[in-house]
Amino acid sequence: MIPEPTVRTVSDGVARVSWPAMPEEGDFRAAVASISGAVERALADHGRVEAWLDPEDTVSHRLATWSGMHREGVMRGGVLADGEHRDRIVYARLASDAPLGEPAGFRALLNSFLPRKRAISQLLVRDPDGRVLMCRLTYKKDWDLPGGVVEVGESPQLAAGREVLEELGLEVTPGRLLLTDWLPSWSGWDDALCLVFDGGVVSTSALDAVVREEREIAGVQFCDPADVRAHAADFTARRVEAALAALVDGTTYTESGR
């Protein structure tokens, strides 16, 4: 059975399209034609047409995508159902979106729903004795390598240098990639890739030039492997050890430091 979409104006220039749940074995192509037609008609006098979909309704997610609607994100607790606030996944198409028949339009549609991973860049900086520069952080008890989250559209290698400059006031040019460490989902965080770049060897006196970003950095010091193990989380200690090994053995890949 083909779902018959309904369209209603929800605010000035914004329409919302909805349709009944459709079984997997339904006429998918006919449903896409019906929904995409409703969307295009609504765009004739609306700048935006959106759909709020149940996260569990995977068929409707496919229908929305094939109908040219971009996935925009999660409206947490967006609807009240059976006395509970339930999430909804928001899809939308704008009158200004490039046509799907054009390469730019198709790429933009794919980009809206393909998976994305958080990236973290860090630097492995050593002193002449081989000790590793570690940061004591204000927002967690475990020590970590200097670095931080890569911004959207930013080079991970440049991000490592930017973060160290912002947080420590040190200008360090990131060298080659030593380690790609995959971090699984943990304690409310999505999974991420941590990229560790070679920060080279600096004088121990470089600590005298540190200007801490005090909201994030409580202190910095060079640590030998035993100190790293004592003050860092297990997976961080394993990452540091793997990065040190990569200085000799070449670039490597780990998962949670293993």
Per-residue pLDDT of the chain (258 residues; tens, 9 = 90+): 677 899 999 999 999 999 998 876 678 999 999 999 999 999 999 999 999 999 999 999 999 999 999 999 999 999 998 899 999 999 999 999 999 999 999 999 999 999 889 999 999 999 999 999 999 999 889 999 999 999 999 999 999 999 999 999 999 999 999 999 999 998 788 999 999 999 999 999 999 999 999 999 999 999 999 999 999 999 999 999 999 999 999 999 999 999
Domain positions in the chain: 6-113, 118-255
- As a whole number of angstroms, the distance between CA 89 and CA 130 comes to 50
- Tens-digit pLDDT profile for residues 1-43: 677 899 999 999 999 999 998 876 678 999 999 999 999 999 9
Structure-derived torsion over alpha carbons of residues 71, 149, 184, 64, reported in degrees to the nearest 10: 0
CATH class of the 6-113 domain in this structure: alpha beta
Query: How does DSSP assign 205-254, residue by residue?
Result: GGGGG----TTTEEEEEEE-HHHHHHHB-HHHHHHHHHHHHHHHH--EEE
Name the residue among 67, 68, 86 with its Cα closest to residue 76. 86
Query: For the domain bounded by 118-255, which CATH number is listed?
Result: 3.90.79.10
Query: How does DSSP assign 192-209, residue by residue?
Result: EEEEEEEEEE--GGGGGG
Q: Model pTM?
A: 0.84
Which is it for the CA torsion 27, 29, 35, 41, positive or negative? negative
Q: What are phi and psi of 140, to 5 degrees?
A: -155, 155
- β-pairing, 252-255 vs 70-81, is unpaired
- What is the 8-class DSSP label of residue 109? H
